[in-house]
Amino acid sequence: MKLAIYICTDRFGKVGPATDPYNGKAIEKERNEFKRLIEGKIVILGHNTYMVAPDKALFKDTRVMVVSDSAIDGVETYPSVMSIFAKLNQEYPQSAVYDIPTIFFAGGITLMTEICPFVDNLYISKDEDTYDEEGGWPVFDMAIYGNWDKSRPRPVVDTNGRTVTFYHFSRKSTPTPSVDEWAGD
């Protein structure tokens, strides 16, 4: 089992709703990249991130699990990340735990900071033309979560001249816990 994060930032590394690939402002190549990465995988989202995503069709071919204290129609909801891993532990016998596809975490700075110390891969979509005008977005600083190998940045430009750069980081040494550790067993 591999854990990965897909996170979108503005040009200064701040995380906010204007940078998400599933909102109406995302460029098509960014949305396609997000869909390609999560297709056929398990995607864990925070409640607010899922609720503000206007294009739920991006999640069509994925298993969506939402961390939320309240039920959401048609979506699996759990009160915590730990309860999600407990559920996965029940569904997959210990011998098959490594057959679980990559689990993606997307959106929500609270969820990102909780899970980042344990992820194997980090995908960042950096919107070079968007920035936090109000000054309230939190900064995502991946350096505090360990050492990473970085792939070559891939900038893409849409027809309106907006630039988004894609980065893929792999952890140099992976501290991924077992499902039993996540589930608290």
> DSSP readout, 77-130?
EESSHHHHHHHHHHHS-GGGGGGSPPEEEES-HHHHHHHGGG-SEEEEEEETT-
pLDDT band (50, 70, 90) for residue 183: very low
Could you tell me the domains of the chain?
3-183 (3.40.430.10)
Residue 53 has pLDDT above 80, yes or no: no
The per-residue pLDDT of the chain, averaged, comes to: 77
Q: Express each pLDDT in 160-179 by its tens digit.
A: 777 888 888 888 865 545 44
pLDDT band (50, 70, 90) for residue 135: low
| pLDDT number for residue 133 | 61
Taken in order 3, 13, 152, 55, the sign of the CA dihedral is positive
3-state secondary structure of 139: strand
89 or 84, greater pLDDT? 84
State how far the Cα of 165 lies from the Cα of 20, in Å rounded to an integer.
13
